[in-house]
Amino acid sequence: MTGLGLLLRKELLEQTRTMRIIVVAIVFALFGILSPLTAKYLPDILKAVGGDQIPLGLIPTPKTADAVDQFLKNVGQFGAFTAILLAMGAVATEKERGTAALILTKPASRAAFLAAKLIAIAVDLLVATAAAGILGYYYTVVMFEALPLPGYAAMCVLMWIGMVVYAALTFLGSTLVRSAAAAAGLGFLLLVVTSIVSALPTIGPYMPESLATPGRALALGTTPADVAGPLLANAGIIVASAVLAWLWFRHQEL
């Protein structure tokens, strides 16, 4: 991992200078605010639009669980797309421009080159998820009721891990190909595949989307059926993607 610290500082500094990390955090924060607001006022909006055409009792009274569900849906879906977009050009664009070869002529290993980029993406997603979680929790407490803070934080951590899975898979694609568009296509394809597979009873609970189930339970203060299994499975996907990317990249001509 020669040069990891230097390369990681370079990646984080680049994210700060380009305002990428700030923009992503702001958009995540907006989703965090809108989720409980949507859960609270959507029934009123539907009543205002539908008027007397909507029978009484058809629209349920909003509950705290609705705010959590909206947060999981909005931040989770947007987070997966963002993870793919952040990772799609991480390596492919560097190879296409020839900057990867230039960086690696310095005392920096290929493993450090890849690790710095993937860690920087994970940090970006972590900051954004934290921003969404803090504001989402605050507005949920204001609009509904207080939830167990450790459980809500644990839900956000599980969501972040799910995002990093998509980032790692797309990052692997970015290593295999020389086009950011091709890497993005692979990432979105895997997003669709994992979404379909998550409906299967055997392996579905171990897909990134299924992390929402134990996350929801933890946020609402209940005990989930299984956390360790999905957590280890998704962590394994991240590690396997990173290792495969390194095995391929170490012998790749730049």
Report DSSP letters for 110-163, one per residue.
HHHHHHHHHHHHHHHHHHHHHHHHHHHHHHHHHHT----HHHHHHHHHHHHHHH
| Residue 74 belongs to a domain | yes
CB-count burial class (<10 Å; 0-12, 13-18, 19+) for 98 = exposed
Tokens of 181: 């568009």
77, part of any domain = yes
The per-residue pLDDT for 37 is 92
Quote the pLDDT of residue 53.
64
pLDDT for residue 51? 56
| HSE value, Cβ hemisphere, 13 Å, CA-based, for 118 | 27
What is the share, in percent, of the chain residues with pLDDT greater than 70? 93
The reply to whether 132 falls in a domain is yes
Segment 38-86, tens digit of pLDDT: 988 877 776 666 556 656 556 678 899 999 999 999 999 999 999 999 9
pLDDT at 31: 95
Structural domain that includes position 189: 4-249
pLDDT of residue 58: 63
In a domain, 254, yes or no: no
Q: How many domains are contained in the chain?
A: 1
147 in a domain, yes or no?
A: yes
Q: Residue 74 is encoded by which pair of tokens?
A: 């909005």
Decide if pLDDT at 164 tops 70: yes
- Mean residue pLDDT of the chain comes to 89
The reply to whether 206 falls in a domain is yes
Task: Tell whether 62 is covered by a domain.
Answer: yes
Is there a domain that residue 84 lies in? Answer: yes
Half-sphere exposure of 224 (CA within 13 A, CB side): 22
pLDDT at 52: 60
- pLDDT surpasses 60 at 186: yes
Q: Based on C-alpha coordinates, what's the Rg of the chain?
A: 20
Tens-digit pLDDT profile for residues 117-139: 999 999 999 999 999 999 999 99
